[in-house]
A and B are shown apart, each in its own frame.
Chain A
Amino acid sequence: MASPIEFFSNVEKDSWVHRMDPRVKIIMVVCLGSLPLLFSDPWYLLGWFLFFSLLLRSAKIDIRPIIALFYGALIMVFVYIMYGTFLAYPEDVLALAKFVWRWGPLVATDIGFYNGLILGSRLLILLMPVVLVIATTEPSQLAKGFMKMGTPIVISFILLATLRFLPLVFEVATRVMEAQRVRGLNYKTFKERINNFKFLLLPLFINTLRQSRTLGLAVESKGFGARKWNEFYRDFSMHKSDWVTLTALALFVLAVVYVRFGLNLGWTAIYRP
């Protein structure tokens, strides 16, 4: 059975992002994954969303096979909205609210809803540049990028293994749950999910470990222990287009920082109790 998220379904396509050097992609994701946090104005956040959507589109990324990643983020957005809406604000804040709904100890306000929406949408936006990179890069290329940037081989190997094994574990978990369903276990109600959880644990742990440790032995037999994997079968180097992208990125970062702090735009007060 296939994994519910096909993480690498877009890797084989060809676009300007696919052709980019992995090191540039890593720098890009660090910059673009941090900058939206400087903003809280909904219009600016909408701007970031549209900008990232354009980037995803220009990279020819088909979002359908990886849509489950966004569902996870949407759950977090929902939690933030609920939390913000029903937060126990003091009376002076409630006096500013145009809409107040009370039910026992719960008080919902439009200010709270607005706050929750802003905070939650920032989470969703942060996911987009990461999707841009993982959907367009082979995990091994990304690991090589980290190694070329001076990351120790152990950490690079861990990053590579993470990208490879999460889908594998996901697949094994789905397979075990499906096998249990066939044998009459249900995961429909909340109680069933909690009760049947214990039956999932051991088969999942043992199956995944058996599969992955075999691969570990294969890697070890190819001389990983010497920590001298410095040559690459498919090497890459920075091209002119990569330098152009890096320069454009640096200018973009400077421009964003200037807009936020030089012009003091893009920030509305987020109420914090």
Chain B
Amino acid sequence: MTTATKKVGTVEAIFTKLTAVDLITMVVFAALFRILFMVYKMAEIIFPWNHPAWYFFCMLCLAPAVMIVRKPGATFLFTVSWLAINFFFQGEIPLWWIGAATIPLIPEFYMFMRAKQMGGAKVAFTNLKELIIFGLIYTLLAYTTNMLLIIYALGNPMPRILFWPVGALALVIGAVGTYLGYLVGQKISGLVG
């Protein structure tokens, strides 16, 4: 008697490695990101000065999430989660999902390559230097797609002169968020297990 085995593609194989606990962890961190940003917004700091804070909270939550899950595909699912939150609770344009879903691809690929070189995803995802580079790539791509949405799709009359300084600030703040997220990740990964 032979046992039939189901063949899975490379992309499917990446997601097969993620358990329900991993998926829920990513969703919870994405929800934390949106809630923390909402709490921050309650301080009544408005656009464009609130905009770099978006990257701070994003990286503050993404860094510990990938440190806990430590598997390829986790960043993509984190992004899908916050996109879903934006859609369900903010009414964001569904067509924009196509653009925004590409944000995590390059950071994922970078970590995948580094994990191969460093001898495992667990080593790469807990290395501060790698996390900072990963965070900077993610911030840069997220900033670009966010600006495309804000300026071109929603037509926000943001002066173009602010585009570069706000972007530079977003990168710096994103890196700070990654560093703090790393510290939070170190603390909670021990507590959560």
Which of A's residues lie within 8 Å of B, judged by CB? 29-30, 33-34, 37, 40, 69, 72-73, 75, 78-80, 82-84, 87-88, 112, 115-116, 119, 122-123, 126-131, 134, 152, 154-155, 157-159, 161-163, 165-166, 168-170, 173, 190, 193-194, 197, 200-202, 204-206, 208-210, 212-213, 215-217, 219-220, 224-225, 227, 270-273
Contacts and interface: CB of A to CB of B under 8 A. Distances in A.
B154 A170 contact: no
B178 interface: no
Interface in B10-50: 12, 15-16, 18-28, 30-32, 34-36, 38-44, 46-47
Contact of A165 (B28, B77, B188, B191): B28
A91 to B, nearest CB: 15
Given A83-B158, A158-B26, A213 B192 contact: yes
The B interface is mostly helix, strand or loop, or mixed, namely helix
The A interface is mostly helix, strand or loop, or mixed, namely helix
Interface in B116-165: 153-160
A245 B12 CA distance: 35
Contact of B23 (A33, A154, A193): A154
A165 B18 CA distance: 18
Contacts of A154: 15, 18, 23, 77
17 contacts: A37-B93, A40-B155, A78-B46, A122-B154, A130-B87, A158-B26, A166-B34, A166-B89, A168-B31, A169-B32, A173-B39, A193-B39, A202-B187, A205-B184, A213-B24, A213-B25, A216-B19
9 cross-chain pairs, A with B, having the tightest CB-CB distances, nearest first: A127-B91, A216-B21, A216-B24, A219-B20, A161-B27, A169-B31, A130-B91, A126-B91, A162-B84
